[in-house]
């Protein structure tokens, strides 16, 4: 692990976001939007990627790769600090700035 200073970015990505009770991409995206609303973040676009899981003891927890786009600086910092969803102590819902690749597509 490396320690980095938080810097705002217009696009953030989390490898795994879990929200209890939401296992389908469409309703999961709506749940993410509700959490953004609670953080008073408006205008962000939510993109739900592939489904991912994490195993804790004998329990498999389902979540999704999640990308947030069109964030202003203040909203970006709020997401970086607060995160989205649960189980952040296990690394879920932790966002990082998206890295731009040379071909114009995000990685």
Give dist(CA 79, CA 95) in Å, integer.
7
DSSP 8-state secondary structure symbol assigned to residue 44: P
pLDDT tens-place string over residues 8-30? 999 999 999 999 989 999 999 99
Q: What is the pTM of this model?
A: 0.81
Q: Minimal CA–CA distance to 19: which of 68, 82, 83, 63?
A: 63
Give me the chain's average pLDDT, please: 87
Q: Minimal CA–CA distance to 17: which of 55, 56, 53?
A: 53
State the pLDDT at residue 98. Answer: 86
pLDDT tens-place string over residues 29-88? 999 999 999 999 988 999 999 999 888 888 888 899 999 999 999 999 999 999 998 887
């Amino acid at each position: 692990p490396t320690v980095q200073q938080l810097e705002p970015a217009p696009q953030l990505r989390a490898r795994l976001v879990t929200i209890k009770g939401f296992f389908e991409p469409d309703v999961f995206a709506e749940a993410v939007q509700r959490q953004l609303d609670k953080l008073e973040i408006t205008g962000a676009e939510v993109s739900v990627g592939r489904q991912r899981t994490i195993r804790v003891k004998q329990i498999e927890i389902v979540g999704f790769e999640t990308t947030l786009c069109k964030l202003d600086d203040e909203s970006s910092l709020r997401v970086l600090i607060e995160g989205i969803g649960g189980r952040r102590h296990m690394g879920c819902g932790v966002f990082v700035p998206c890295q731009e690749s040379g071909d114009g597509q995000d990685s």
